[in-house]
Amino acid sequence: MTAPANTTQRIKTTRSRCLSCLSSCAAEVWLAGENPEQVFMKRTCPDHGEQWTLLSSDSRFYWQSQGSSSASEDCCQSGSCCTDGSPSSAGSSTFEQLSTCVALIEIVNSCNLKCPTCFADSLTGPVDAVPLDEIKQRIEGVIQRKGGIEILQLSGGEPTLHPQFFELLEWANQHSAIDYILINTNGLLIAKDDAFLAQLGKAVKLGHMQVYLQYDGPGEAGHTSLRGADLRKVKQQAIERCEQIELPVTLAMTVIPDNLDQIWNSISFGLQYPHVRGISFQPMFGSGRTTSEASEHSDRQLNVADIILSAITQSDGQLKSADFTPLPCGDPNCATIGYLLKINGEVRSISDFVDFSQVQDFLSDRLRYSLEDLASCGCDSEPLGALLKQFELDASHTFRLLIKPFMDARSWDDHRIDRCCTHVIRPDGKLDSFCRYYSGFSDCQPC
Characterize 265-274 residue by residue with b for buried, 16 or more Cβ atoms within 10 angstroms of its Cβ, and e for exposed: ebbebbeebe
213: nearest Cα among 225, 200, 202: 200
From the CB of residue 390, how many other CB atoms can be counted at a distance below 10 Å? 9
Provide the residue type at 103 as one letter: A
* Mutual angle of helices 194-204 and 232-244, in 10-degree steps: 40
* Structural contact between residues 65 and 14, judged by C-beta atoms closer than 8 angstroms: no
- CA separation for the pair 150, 397 (Å, rounded): 23
182: nearest Cα among 273, 277, 78, 290: 277
- Residue 64 confidence (pLDDT): 67
Burial of 73 (0-12, 13-18, 19+ CB in 10 A): exposed
What are the sequence ranges of the domains in the chain? Answer: 7-61, 94-313+405-444
**Which runs of consecutive H residues, i.e. helices, occur in 130-219?**
132-146, 165-173, 188-192, 194-204
183: nearest Cα among 238, 259, 254, 116: 238
- CA separation for the pair 213, 189 (Å, rounded): 12
> Strand 178-185 relative to strand 149-155: parallel, antiparallel, unpaired?
parallel
325: nearest Cα among 399, 270, 401: 401
The answer for 35, left when phi > 0, alpha when psi is -120 to 50, beta otherwise, is: left
Provide the residue type at 315 as one letter: S
pLDDT tens, N- to C-terminus, the chain (447 residues): 888 888 889 989 999 999 999 999 999 999 998 888 999 999 999 999 999 999 999 999 998 654 333 322 333 332 333 323 333 333 335 677 777 889 999 999 988 876 655 544 555 568 899 999 999 999 999 999 999 999 999 998 899 999 999 999 999 999 999 999 999 999 999 999 999 999 999 999 988 899 999 999 999 998 888 888 889 999 999 999 999 999 999 999 999 999 999 999 999 999 999 999 999 999 988 754 444 444 444 456 899 999 999 999 999 999 999 999 888 777 889 999 999 998 888 898 988 888 887 777 666 544 444 445 444 555 655 677 777 777 776 777 889 999 999 999 999 999 888 788 899 999 999 999 999 998 888 777 654
Element (H, E) at 29: strand 24-32
- CA separation for the pair 311, 318 (Å, rounded): 9
CA pseudo-torsion sign 367, 370, 371, 374 = negative
Q: How big is the chain, counted in residues?
A: 447
CA distances (Å), origin 381, targets 63, 375, 388, 389: 19, 11, 12, 12
- Residue 379 confidence (pLDDT): 62
- Residue 23 confidence (pLDDT): 94
- CA separation for the pair 412, 424 (Å, rounded): 18
CATH architecture of 94-313+405-444: Alpha-Beta Barrel (3.20)
The answer for 208, left when phi > 0, alpha when psi is -120 to 50, beta otherwise, is: left
* pTM of the complete model: 0.86
Provide the residue type at 132 as one letter: L
231: nearest Cα among 343, 137, 112: 112
> For 431, what's the count of Cα atoms within 13 Å in the CB-facing half-sphere?
29
* Structural contact between residues 334 and 55, judged by C-beta atoms closer than 8 angstroms: no
Task: Spell out where 190-294 has E strands.
Answer: 209-214, 249-255, 276-283
> For 341, what's the count of Cα atoms within 13 Å in the CB-facing half-sphere?
15
Q: What's the distance, CA 285 to chain centroid?
A: 11
- CA separation for the pair 274, 253 (Å, rounded): 18
Provide the residue type at 175 as one letter: H
From the CB of residue 251, how many other CB atoms can be counted at a distance below 10 Å? 24
- CA separation for the pair 405, 342 (Å, rounded): 26
- CA separation for the pair 260, 252 (Å, rounded): 14
73: nearest Cα among 418, 422, 429, 312: 418
Q: What is the DSSP string of 339-363?
A: EEEEETTEEEEGGGT--GGGG-GGG
CA distances (Å), origin 210, targets 183, 204, 246, 254: 6, 9, 10, 19
